[in-house]
Structure 1
Amino acid sequence: MTPPLAARPLQLGPVTLANRLVGTAHASGAVAGGVPLPGDADYWRRRAAGGAAMLIVGGTVVSPSSANRNGNITEAWRPDVVAGLEARARAITEEGAVAACQLVQLGRETLGAELWSHPVAPTVVRSPREPTRPRALASAEVDGIVDAFRTSAVHAWSAGFPVVELHAAHGYLLAQFLSPVTNFGPDAATVSQRVRILDRIAAAIRDACPGVVLGVRVSAEGGEEAGLGMDGLCELLPRLSCFDYVNITVGVRTTYVRDMAVTDPPLLDVVGRLRAAVATPLLVSQSFRTGATIDAALRSGADLVGVARPLIADPHFPRKMLTGRESSIRPCVSCNEDCRAFDPVLLCSVNPELAPPGESARPAYPLTLGPTRRSTDRRRIAVVGAGPAGLECAMRLGPDHDVTLFEGRARIGGQLAIAADAPNRSGWRRLLDYYSDNLSAVTIRLGHRVSAAELEGFDDVVLAVGAEETLPREAAGTRSLLTSQALVGSEEPLRGAGHVVVVDDGFGLWPAASSVEAALAAGAGLVTVLTPAAAFASGLPAEGRVQYLRRLSGTPVDVRVLSSIVGVSDGSVEFENTLSGVRTRLDADRVVVAGERRSLDWSLVAPDNPRVHVIGDALVPRKVAHAIAEGHAVAREYFLTAGG
């Protein structure tokens, strides 16, 4: 078999990359007081062991003005950070990858976290994400910025990072210098003038760090604020020849981490144009998930392809991709939940093995009934329910035990399959396809509602029977649709409805948000959202909410906040303002309600004799991350019991 293009090595200055796959900048979050904790190096060692040629460590700021108060971002200008940087670099290089350190100054941005300092920028132009304008930097302060990058680069280089990358993307300070919208005046009238700060920083770093490989990250889009449109980017790129490589991505803060609505890499169609504008090796990134898109980017002229979230979901993504085992890659679904929250550190909704420092797996607490049976024997195990909890458990147990997976529906996935049917939420389908592809060692019985009597013959039983959505009493007995009914299969349940009213439960989560998009996709002329909360879609991940609301821009959607339903009748909805108490009635062709999710009664199928585990929504309805972690926790018990 011909090796994929991504398997070819690449010479990057004095550094040899073993292949063309790069882990682009992100942070572990295992940092306190601006200094990496021991768990930080452990995280990077696991990523490096997966086969990426180079790992770029992000979340590394160069001056106090970008240091947030909670201290979970590495403060690279401090001498006492070098030991932590050394541990990082050593962990990466000992696993065969090249270690790179990305350096950033946020400028007028705060990342949404409180800072000790105040925002600064080339000129006084307010960010659309911040309530106040920054202070303009004086000439002497610009000199200080150059020196801050130099000092931080020296610390990284002396700590064992042979590669340093300047972050001039996503609307942060260096990008603010490059943009004519945020840097203007007689000394910034041309691209050559605006790029001067990058030339100065590059020269200072090369003088201080002989032999360093120096890269720069820039981004397309956001030209109306501190970004560059494609034309502006292509005008800039030829002036970056002082760098050893150029890393190109997309977006500004809140849009640069794309959600499930993006199914293809945004830069894939313009790689050829970028290649023509860049004189040095070209790295492209954002939403590369498959071997086909990676190969297409390399064939179009990219030298390297970058991934970040796929490495978080499966650190062995590169090695599996390069050895033809793509179906075994645990996929990033772009839900942007745990990987963007840093609560308490970097986690992943679909990867239960990514855990806080000191933990071997994500903490999870299944309900277990019956005595522990210590045995190394192969066991007969029944898993009831093929939602994410049951799928994770069955997949992990299948190779070592005799596992039968029972599912009452005709397809796997449970409520997750319904979520995957929703517009712009097909990322969940990637996870279900992954489970489907990796259940070959499991006997699967779909469309079979198993009884307690049937389960008596098994040694152990895992109950992952899930939950059901229920209508609130105000809508009981009406033809109102639950969100799980409105989203299943396609937009068919909402087709033909001119006015759809979506009743949110006040928690602002995806069921109601997706129902709005489903109604629009079905052709509704007007969608009215009623929510008792002070804002709509407030429960979505911050970046997902921004991108979701942008998709709704210009659509016939009317949101009524602080509005609780009083009653629903066929053809109308009555609601009241939670502050004034004023009641209003709306005519509606369809009413979709986000109901409470309640656990199904697992005790109805719990056998008397085998050891029983209850996991996922059957225990308490929560997020996908809880379900997967509990399925993984039950499987681990059997590995530990058997000494595996």
Structure 2
Amino acid sequence: MPPLLSSPLRIGDLELRNRLVATAHGSGVVSAGTARPGDDDYWRRCAAGGAAMVIAGGTVVGSDSGNRTGNITDASLPDAVPGLRRRAQAITDGGAVPVCQLVHLGRETLGAEIWEHPVAPSAIRSPREPVRARVMSDADIDRVIADFVRSSRHAAAAGFAAVELHAAHGYLLAQFLSPATNHRADADTAAGRAAILHRLHAEITEACPGLVVGVRVSLDGAEEAGLDTDGLCELLPLLDMFAYRNVTAGVRTTYVRDMATAEPPLLPLLRRLRAATAGPLLVSQAFRSRAQIEEALTAGADLVGMARPFIADPDIAAKLLSGADNRIRPCVSCNEDCRSFTPVLLCTVNPALAPPGLAARPARPLRFGPPPSRPGKVAVVGAGPSGLEAALRLAPAHDVTLLDAMPWIGGQLRTAAQAPNRTGWSALLRFYQDNLTGVRTELGQRVTPADLTDFDEIIVATGATETDTAGAETTTSVLTDPHRFRPGNRVVVVDDGFGYWPALGAVEAALAGGAGQVTVLTPVAAIAAGIPAESRVQLLRRLAGHPVDFVVQAALAEVRRIASGTVVRYRNVLSGEAIELICDRLVVAGERIATDWRSFPENLPQARVQVIGDALVPRRVSHAVAEGYAAAETILTGARVPAQAG
């Protein structure tokens, strides 16, 4: 008998090869509502990695639910069918069942400009929108149902085996299902609120014989446009006509949980969910490990879905099925690239995911010296994310030595992973540690050019350091020493104005240490502006109820010591008013300055030198990983890339 993870499953007329599903997401390779060439390349790669079913998301059913940029597929358009056909065929070619998820956003606009006005079941404003939507008439409901049917016809004609109705995350169908957002005359009961799903199922199956129809619903956000556990369990038995139920969690801004969510939120509820429905049950949200997936399957789920882990490593299913767990490039749930679509779907940890026509994410290491005449020894100086990626990429084919002044790998990524609720970065470091087979590591000693005269290729990935302020601690120092904070401490954290994780991590570290009061000074008018929107919502929820004050438009002016502590003087950047407060610990997020790497190309004329990552310019993990990958590719391909002026 095959293990549960690899067991096939039948859903209607569909045969699924295992229990792993790539749940709905979009490639972003879309223009004017239609998939562009290159979109199918993404889906073919996703399916070829072993998933049993691949659900293509980001597909609306009409122009009144799309944004003005047009990078969301509109399945109601006849012109969309050719692109949908390429997408469905690509998934089929990869061996997976192709599913098209269909959605109408209703009162939600995704925070983007739209061409038309939003609609909703009732006149109840979303907490994410400035105004309430127009209330739908019966004729509006008829029109939207016709849009779903027309979109389903197009999906079926394009070769999709199934459609999934998106009735989750607070979008239109979820707005009908939730008593918080549906106050229509027929909405007194769960059956009344679910009537629109019954009608959609009946009309789609009549119009598209043979097309399998599933539905996605979600838990949480009951006060907005969602359901609590009781409401979800009351709803599930009413959805037995659907071929499968996809259950997830959250509403808009909370349904893409970041790395602070350590465990899948549905795991504790699975036995109850299983008891509420007899048909195939797919569960998703924050599943990242074999143990979590197997626990879900043992508790009664028939299928387990993931989206971001397939973006980080499209081969995740095949690796899980073969037992190669340590070779999975892990999704760390940072949400920094996969949620922005600038310009298309990208991933912080996966440099091979690139815009159409490119083999890898664009990156340009700084290069000096001629390439060697033949493959030679490679030194990677610096074991942060850029150096680790370069060494990993080169290891199978080259003689590689990885060097770092610290006695451990990780660089500033290791520091970031030590912040409360940011330990997801540790998974990436474990991945590198487990897969640096064949790489010689020399840690704990500072490297000079004189140590590298025997090498033909030098990759400089020496990172950056955080500047300090007299009388204050750096974010690096407090995150690497969690015992610095004491219960009752009065702590001031000074943000650099960019609202990114170093200062925010210091805030959470202070609270974890029992600080009695944390005051955050920022010279700008926003709080945590530099982190993804979903992370900001989740962070502020974590901070709610704790002794934290944010003071905006406050610039640090002076620091001085007195007997009772540290006096922090700041000024309002608008009025100029000066204010003082006393604290026990002052933490200032300093500018990160690239280390001085110039001695390497100056003193190693026999070698080609490439400078990457924060040593070049301090930026995000995505830049470091991409440049490490690019530097390795230059060596692997023997590319004679011209040197750049230094």
TM tier relative to shorter chain: over 0.9
Q: Supply the AA of the counterpart residue of 2:599.
A: L
Within-5 A mapping of 1:292-371? 292-371=291-370
Whole-Å Cα distance in 1 between the matches of residues 205 and 118 of structure 2?
Answer: 28
- Counterpart selection for 2:636 from 631, 636, 639: 639
Aligned residue for 1:530, secondary structure, equals strand
Q: Please name the residue that 1:581 is paired with.
A: 576
The question of whether the paired residues in 1 share the 8 Å contact of 2:600 and 2:609 is answered with no
- Cα distance between partner residues in 2 of 1:3 and 1:390: 40
1:152-301 equivalences in 2 (<5 Å):
152-301=151-300
User: In 2, Cα distance between the equivalents of 1:3 and 1:284?
Assistant: 21
**Secondary structure, counterpart of 1:242 in structure 2:** coil
Q: Give runs of aligned pairs for residues 458-473 of structure 1, distance below 5 A.
A: 458-471=455-468
Rounded Cα–Cα distance in structure 2 between residues aligned with 1:203 and 1:536: 47
What per-residue deviation string (whole Å, max 9, x for no partner) do you get for residues 87-146 of structure 1?
A: 000111011111000000000000111110111100000000000001100011111111
Within 2, Cα distance between the matches of 1:404 and 1:600? 20
C-alpha distance in 2 between matches for 1:26 and 1:440: 33
User: 2 CA distance for matches of 1:42 and 1:569?
Assistant: 59
1:6 aligns with 2:5: yes
Distance in 1 (CA, whole Å) between partners of 2:354 and 2:227 is 37
Task: Return the offset for 1:237.
Answer: 0.2
Q: Deviations over 1:197-217 (max 9, x none)?
A: 000011111011111111000
Alignment of 1:442-461 (within 5 A): 442-461=439-458
**Structure 2 stretches lacking a partner, 5+ long:** 641-646
Residue of structure 2 in register with 1:602 after alignment: 597
SS at match of 1:572: strand
In 2, Cα distance between the equivalents of 1:642 and 1:66? 47
Deviation string 1:362-392 (CA, Å, 9 cap, x unpaired) is 00010010012353x4x21100000000000
Residue 592 (structure 2) pairs with residue 593 (structure 1)? no
- Paired amino acid for 1:500: V
Distance in 1 between residues matched to 2:188 and 2:332, nearest whole Å: 42
What's the secondary structure of 2:598's corresponding residue? helix
Q: For the residues of structure 2 that align with 1:576 and 1:528, how far apart are their CA atoms?
A: 14
Post-superposition CA distance 1:266-303 (Å, at most 9, x none)? 11111111111012100000111111111110011000
1:529-540 matched pairs, under 5 angstroms: 529-540=520-531
Matched, 1:405 2:396: no
8 Å CA contact retained: 1:327, 1:434: yes
Q: What is the CA deviation profile of residues 522-551 of structure 1, one whole-angstrom value per residue up to 9, with x for unaligned ones? A: 100100000001012011111111111111
> Which secondary structure does the structure 1 equivalent of 2:637 belong to?
helix
* Residue aligned with 2:379, SS: strand
Q: Residue in 2 aligned with 1:69?
A: 68
C-alpha distance in 2, partners of 1:558/1:342?
33
In 2: Cα distance, 1:276 partner to 1:35 partner? 40
Aligned residues: 634
Equivalence for 2:432: 435
Alignment of 1:520-599 (within 5 A): 520-570=511-561, 571-599=566-594
3-state DSSP of counterpart to 1:338: coil
CA distance in 1 between partners of 2:175 and 2:14 (Å):
30
**How far is 1:3 from its partner?**
4.9
- Matched residue type, 2:410: G
Shift of 1:569: 1.6
Structure-2 separation of matches of 1:389 and 1:104: 39
CA displacement, residues 394-415 of structure 1 (integer Å, 9 cap, x when unaligned): 1111111111100111111000
Which residue does 1:493 correspond to in 2? 484
Contact 2:556 2:571 in 1 (8 A): yes
Contact map agreement 2:487 2:516 (CA 8 A) in 1: no
- Give yes or no for contact 2:121–2:184 (8 Å, CA) kept in 1: no
Distance 1:133 1:436 in 2: 51
Q: Is contact 1:374–1:642 with CA below 8 Å preserved after alignment? A: no
Q: Secondary structure at the match of 1:533?
A: coil
Secondary structure at the counterpart of residue 128 of structure 1 = coil
Separation in structure 2 between the aligned mates of residue 496 and residue 367 of structure 1, nearest angstrom: 47
- Tell me which amino acid in the other structure corresponds to 2:607: P
Do structure 1's residue 627 and structure 2's residue 639 form an aligned pair? no
Structure 1 unaligned blocks of 5 or more:
none
Equivalent position amino acid for 1:457 in 2: D
Secondary structure at 2:515 match in 1 = coil
Any conservation in 2 of the 1:497–1:590 contact (CA below 8 Å)? no
How far apart, CA to CA, are the structure 1 residues paired with 2:574 and 2:272? 55
Q: Is 1:483–1:592's contact at 8 Å kept on the other side of the alignment?
A: yes
Rounded to whole Å, the distance in 1 between the matches of 2:614 and 2:4 is: 43
Give the Cα separation in 2 of the matches to 1:57 and 1:494.
47
Residues 179-225 of structure 1 show CA distances to partners (whole Å, capped at 9, x for unaligned) of 01111243111011110000001111101111111100000001111
Secondary structure (helix, strand or coil) at the match of 1:461 reads strand
CA distance in 2 between partners of 1:268 and 1:437 (Å): 28
Pick the aligned partner of 1:483 from 455, 475, 485: 475
Task: Say if 2:493 is the partner of 1:502.
Answer: yes
The percent identity for this pair of structures is 59
The one-letter amino acid paired with 2:513 is A
Paired with 1:244 and 1:421, the residues of 2 have a C-alpha distance of 44
Q: 2:371, 2:607 within 8 Å by CA — same for their partners in 1?
A: no
The one-letter code sitting in structure 2 at the alignment partner of 1:274 is: L
Contact 1:362 1:629 survives alignment (8 Å): yes
Deviations along 1:310-351, one digit per CA (max 9) or x if unpaired, are 000000000001000000000000000100000000000000
1:495 CA drift (Å) = 2.5
SS in 2 for 1:566: strand
What pairs up with 1:35-184 in 2 under 5 angstroms? Answer: 35-184=34-183
Does the CA-based 8 Å contact 1:497-1:589 persist in structure 2?
A: no
Q: Which residue type is aligned with residue 58 of structure 2?
A: G
The aligned amino acid for 1:419 is A
Rounded to whole Å, the distance in 2 between the matches of 1:29 and 1:373 is: 40
Counterpart residue identity of residue 413, structure 1: G
From the superposition, tell whether residues 485 and 3 of structure 1 become closer, same or farther in structure 2 (CA, over 3 Å). farther
- Matched-pair contact (CA < 8 Å) for 2:408–2:443: yes
RMSD: 1.1
Cα distance in 1 for residues equivalent to 2:259 and 2:354: 24
SS at match of 2:338: helix
Q: Is the 8 A contact 1:103 1:149 kept in 2?
A: yes
Q: Give the structure 2 partner of residue 396 of structure 1.
A: 393
Aligned equivalent of 1:426? 423
